[in-house]
Amino acid sequence: MKPLIVANWKMNPQALKGAKRLFNLVKKETRKVTNVEIVVCPPFIYLSNFFYGRGKTMIKIGAQDCFWENPPAGGGAFTGEISAKMLKDLGCKYVIVGHSERRRYFKETDEMINKKIKAALRNGLKPILCIEKISQIKKGIKGITKKDLKKIILAYEPVWAIGTGKACGIPEAKKVNLSIRKILMDSSFPTSSYILYGGSINSQNARDFIKKAKFQGLLVGGASLDSKEFIEIVKNVSET
């Protein structure tokens, strides 16, 4: 089971030139890393630029969000939204759902997030369900079949650690990881399911979250915008 490293670029970089430069640097410096799965999630507007003419690379592409309907279903055209079907057609493999910033700034509820997960699964995408607290797991996976549960990736991100430089302590992170595992077992999740840690990840602590806290991967925010730092994170994790 390869560690999964997901780069969430959020609303960055501010120009296509910078986005291409960042992607190409990561692609070049990680081309020999074969024991880590790398996923880059750029803003919607840049997605198509990483599917054409990018040469040979093992990097997968994901989106940062999706809507829960495919028009004309649901009785609306949904101006400004991006469907899971669009993302799949473009070539995306993954989609982040329920990030704390979506919950906070856009008032996304557990019910909305649940519908987005189902839309992603219907369209062949692997949803990365972000949770701030363990109670959000059962609400996020409500009504999802046992067959589809194995396609869902969980990402634990304590909200106080996001963008603060104060990552969760390894002993505490391990404890939460074990608690999540227990809930997954009670919910019929496969024991091989990925659980990621996110929140102030850097090249110094990345390896410990995999080796000591026993997570299967990382959701990297700010550090993924620094090519040298992100490359170092990938290489350090590859050595675990």
Residues identified as active-site: 99, 157
Tokens 């054409």, located at residue: 52
* CA dist list (Å): 18 to 39, 224, 226: 18, 13, 11
Q: State yes or no: cis peptide before 171, omega within 30 of 0.
A: no
| CA 44/CA 66 separation, integer angstroms | 10
Range list of H helices, 124-200? 136-140, 146-149, 170-186
To the nearest 10 degrees (0 to 180), the angle between helices 16-29 and 227-238 is: 30
Q: In terms of C-beta density within 10 A (0-12 exposed, 13-18 middle, 19 or more buried), how is residue 65 classed?
A: buried
